[in-house]
Structure 1
Amino acid sequence: MLASAFLFSAHLLILKHASLSLHPFQIAFLRNTMASVVLGGMLLWVGPSMIRNGRTFALRCVLGAGAGLALYYANANAPLAAVTLIFHARIFLLLALASLILKEQISPPRWLAIIMGFTGIIIVIMPDRTGGWSMGLLAATAAAALSSGSQIAVKALTRDNAPLTIAAFSQLAITALSAPMAIPVWLAPPLPAMALIGTAAAFSAMAALAAAKAFSLTQASVVSPMDNAGIVLSAALGFVFFGEAPGPGIVIGAILVLGGAFYVAQKT
């Protein structure tokens, strides 16, 4: 999961550069298409197998497509550190869903950590003195919620499917679902942007495969806190490449989110 977190942060940074010339919905479709080629090729290499549990698979794909579109919109319209912080805080919702849906045991102190994490996110997305709600941060929150449901579906699918099978077939379906949003905003993509998206697609494909493997090995409540390692990296990358210095709200929110995640990891 640590490898997945670092690969995911790097892919967001690359796509933020690409969003300077292309709409985030087109970027999402192009990234999904390229990731499908990578994962599809890997699946053909090892030998494809049919996906089992079709309803859960369909739910995972719909939630995953929505999460991706919302995330890339947020990535283009909000600071990288804030977007990554909000998106990674989905672990707290995932923990709650793991208890309610997968019947995993969550102790009372962990529920306090979940509340702590939610409080941190509220602080991050609250409007500042200069304006109203940020659509980018709200989109990041929606992406986090949709991704939580998607990861729960992935965990359920790992009971009967190999991680590569889940990742490859999911990516193919998500690509098809993202196409209608890309068509209205389509522009001829410049070669530099395509190169950036291709690199990001490879990183995200490897991140998805690493995450699916992690979920297949242990409980969702165990591996999810490790995903937060990407928060610190994203904050550093956003500052170095975009001059995005985290404000007080992001810092306080990060302390609460990382504190809650650290507590969960220590009690595992």
Structure 2
Amino acid sequence: MPISSNLRAALFMVIAMAGFTANDTIIKQLMVSMGLGQVMLIRGIFATAMIFILAWNRGALARPRQLLHPTMALRAVCEMMSTVCFLGALAHMPLANASAVLQALPLAVTMGAALFLGEQVGWRRWLAILFGFTGVMIIVQPGFDGFSVYSLLALGSVVFAAGRDLITRHIPGDVPSLLVSTMTALMVALFGGVLTVVSGDWAPVSTGSLGLLLMTAVLLLVGYQFIIMSMREGDISFVAPFRYTALIWALVLGYLVFGEVPGFAMIAGASFIVLSGLYALYREQVVGKGKPAAESTSPNMAPDGL
């Protein structure tokens, strides 16, 4: 029995979230023995090579002068900082906690669009944003015994990723997204090399670790491609909520791989974030606006460097 386009798109989104979360899981494992910059550099080389080949085959590199647009460099800086913050948090936080904080990205983009781009956001969506970031604070637990400074890094990743998404809107429409991704992946890899040189933290890389880093780059590419397929196949209003299956994958993999059992604060905070995100998306559909939460479910919904 054939399934509908929306159900097929939802399945694509679930697969994409599984790919991104599996990537996070492998990276978290590798950073036990490897430095952050080293991971960014090696994985970035693999990712850049694969995206470059894909962009070349699709003709996205035909006009390299488009890379000179000032928004490209600014976006790359936000991407680099978001990647550093997230990976730094991931190395010291439970997988599900880091993933839950990242789910606040659509709300952060909505807030940024209202504050800096003059987009109209009604009081209901402002309440949803407040509700969602209350959930983030429950997870971060500032001022309590469960507080970890690395939670602030996860929050910083959301801030920089939101800045990246807002800047992306100012990139000329004729610039291919694969050209943007190629440049960003390359800049993240180079930044990883700079971090490695500055810190002097280079560990011997085994063949197994090299293979795992290659796998993470493949998982990123798979995740992005399945998100694109999902967005083209189904209605955003139906598909977008399935991005939150990333939390389910993070809970399962966190428990199976690292033995992490989520606490009450994580479950409560994640619930706040998911409910507020779903309501904000609903309100955007009601008022006839597919942005900006919908944009955060696009191929840019997670840092290119992650």
Normalised to the residue count of structure 2, the TM-score between the two structures is 0.77
1:86 aligns with 2:101: yes
Tell whether the 8 Å contact from 2:85 to 2:153 is kept in structure 1 after alignment.
yes
Q: List gaps (5 residues or longer) in structure 1.
A: none
Identity over aligned pairs, percent? 23
CA distance in 1, matches of 2:238, 2:166: 13
Q: Deviation of residue 128 (structure 1)? A: 7.6
1:221-255 Cα shifts (integer Å, max 9, x gaps):
99876533312211121112111111111011011
AA at the equivalent of 2:185: Q
Match of 2:281 in 1: 265
1:174–1:221 CA distance, 2 compared to 1 (3 A): farther
CA distance in 2, matches of 1:224, 1:163: 20
Q: Which moved more, 1:152-161 or 1:57-66?
A: 152-161
CA distance in 2, matches of 1:196, 1:128: 38
Match of 1:246 in 2: 262
Q: Which moved more, 1:153-162 or 1:19-28?
A: 153-162
Q: List gaps (5 residues or longer) in structure 2.
A: 1-11, 286-306
Match of 1:10 in 2: 22
1:113 aligns with 2:128: yes
Match of 1:152 among 166, 175, 181: 166
CA distance in 2, matches of 1:188, 1:18: 12
CA distance in 1, matches of 2:249, 2:16: 13
Tell whether the 8 Å contact from 1:62 to 1:177 is kept in structure 2 after alignment.
no
AA at the equivalent of 2:245: A
CA distance in 2, matches of 1:136, 1:239: 20
Instruction: Pick the structure with more helix per residue.
Output: 1
1:198–1:79 CA distance, 2 compared to 1 (3 A): same
1:5–1:234 CA distance, 2 compared to 1 (3 A): same
1:136–1:233 CA distance, 2 compared to 1 (3 A): same
| Paired residues for 1:18-97 under 5 Å | 18-47=30-59, 48-49=61-62, 50=64, 51=66, 54-97=69-112
1:120-156 Cα shifts (integer Å, max 9, x gaps):
111111158646x413212111111111111222333
Secondary structure in 2 aligned to 1:25?
Answer: helix
Point out the structure with max Rg over C-alpha. Answer: 2
Tell whether the 8 Å contact from 1:163 to 1:212 is kept in structure 2 after alignment.
no
AA at the equivalent of 2:202: W
Match of 2:181 in 1: 167
CA distance in 2, matches of 1:176, 1:115: 37
Secondary structure in 2 aligned to 1:78?
Answer: coil
- Which segments of structure 1 move beyond 4 Å, counting only runs of 4 or more? 127-131, 208-217, 220-226
Q: Deviation of residue 6 (structure 1)? A: 3.1
1:174–1:162 CA distance, 2 compared to 1 (3 A): same
Tell whether the 8 Å contact from 1:25 to 1:72 is kept in structure 2 after alignment.
no
User: Aligned pair count?
Assistant: 266
AA at the equivalent of 2:17: A
AA at the equivalent of 1:15: I
Normalised to the residue count of structure 1, the TM-score between the two structures is 0.87
1:213–1:123 CA distance, 2 compared to 1 (3 A): same
| Paired residues for 1:84-233 under 5 Å | 84-127=99-142, 130=145, 133-157=147-171, 159-183=173-197, 184-208=200-224, 227-233=243-249
Tell whether the 8 Å contact from 2:131 to 2:273 is kept in structure 1 after alignment.
yes
1:58-83 Cα shifts (integer Å, max 9, x gaps):
11100101111111111111100000
Tell whether the 8 Å contact from 2:17 to 2:249 is kept in structure 1 after alignment.
no
1:130-189 Cα shifts (integer Å, max 9, x gaps):
46x413212111111111111222333362322212211221122222321122211221
1:14-35 Cα shifts (integer Å, max 9, x gaps):
1112122212221122221211
Superposition RMSD in Å? 2.9
CA distance in 1, matches of 2:129, 2:54: 37
Q: Which moved more, 1:47-56 or 1:37-46?
A: 47-56
Q: Deviation of residue 4 (structure 1)? A: 4.1
Match of 2:297 in 1: none
AA at the equivalent of 1:33: I
